[in-house]
A and B are shown apart, each in its own frame.
Chain A
Amino acid sequence: MTDNIDFKRYWNKQKIETQTPEELIKKANEFKRKTRFKLIVGNIVLLISCIGISFIWFYYQPEFLTTKIGVIIIMTAILIYVAFQSTLMPLLSKRNLEASAKEQLLQLLQLKEKQRFQQTTLLNGYFFLLSLGFGFYMYEYAVRMTFIWAVLTYGIVFFTIALNTFYFRPKTIRKQQARLNKLIAQLKDLKEQLTD
């Protein structure tokens, strides 16, 4: 074979699978609907948990300040978590279509590095607040129990907190970090390829 191969000839012979513009527009609308649906479901779950917790507050009329503090802390934890997650999302999808591959790549890389830091801090904070909130919240009910029951209940709660802190939290963080680290490494490799 010669040195002068006509790659364009082979290139243009590739079989093309097409899709009509109508199909495409339908898909685009479906995609939009699905994204909106996901966002709504996420918010509803949050709303329901908050309503559930406030319901306990109003229905059982807790007398101790600790219970109220507990409820507020738990709600704050959930709200902060969801707020952060949903502010990060649009950042991920919002991008400048006029920018070159290199610019977009650098933006993505920065964002992912920020995300790597945020996720860990956020998750630590979330677990801490949630445990603290439950600790406070439980107090009023534990006081009304017999000693044995109170010990047992707090024992279970502390066990759950310990399980979260020492097992689920590091595990989730490790998983997220591993995924992000791999992605960041790949992005850096691409960046390397795009260096003049």
Chain B
Amino acid sequence: MTFEEIHKVYWPKVYRQCMGYMNDHDAAKDITQETFIKVWQHLPKFRNESSIGTWVFRIAANSCLRQISKDKKMPKSEFPNEIVEEILVNNEPLVEFLYKCISELPEVERIIISLELEELKQKEIAKIVGLTESNVRVKIHRIKEKLTKKFQKHDR
């Protein structure tokens, strides 16, 4: 696969993963960009040990987790209210709500559920995060339960 092809297929997937993690378009775009810069730099050395998709998602997951080691930009809560409303771009309310709920989960759960929603096999998710497959399965089940509860509460 050439870089252009990888970019075309995986940019939206990685972007969604980062959105689930950060729930902020600017931050998501930054981390997605960071991920693809790494992909571009390391593609010639890529040894195809795992599929290219797993590799890209792994770089993205690690880029997300690494965010804590960087000095955070201004936290969202410090923006004046009017701007926050502008930032919430015309998505369906439930789409917004889903991403908000996911971004409120613990870091590792955010990554696991994002990968699950991108339809990665649980075996691959386990490889990316470094947990056992059975643990990942249990976690996905629990996360979905949590999200369902939040959605039901939201609906009422």
Interface residues of A (CB under 8 A from B): 1, 3, 5, 7-8, 10-19, 21, 24-25, 27-28, 31, 97-98, 100-105, 108, 112, 183, 186-187, 190, 193-194, 196
Contact = CB atoms under 8 A, between A and B. Distances in A.
A100 B33 contact: no
Contacts of B135: 196
Given A19-B36, A97-B58, A101-B111, 8 more contacts: A10-B95, A11-B118, A14-B99, A19-B32, A24-B33, A97-B62, A101-B108, A102-B130
B19 A14 contact: yes
B108 A193 contact: yes
A89 to B, nearest CB: 14
Contacts of A102: 129-131
Contacts of A28: 37, 40-41
A13 B91 contact: yes
A12 B41 CA distance: 28
A186 B109 contact: no
B22 interface: no
Contacts of A17: 15, 25, 28-29
B51 interface: no
Contacts of A16: 11-12, 15-16
Contact of A100 (B58, B148, B155): B58
B80 to A, nearest CB: 22
B84 interface: no
A193 B40 contact: no
Contacts of A27: 33, 37
A7 B16 contact: no
Given A14-B19, A102-B129, A194 B117 contact: no
A14 B148 CA distance: 19
Nearest to B90: A15
Contacts of A3: 148
B85 to A, nearest CB: 16
Nearest to A185: B68
Contacts of B65: 101, 104-105, 190
Given A25-B40, A97-B59, A100-B127, A5 B148 contact: yes
B144 interface: yes
A101 B19 contact: no
8 contacts: A13-B91, A14-B91, A18-B12, A19-B11, A19-B33, A28-B41, A97-B38, A112-B69
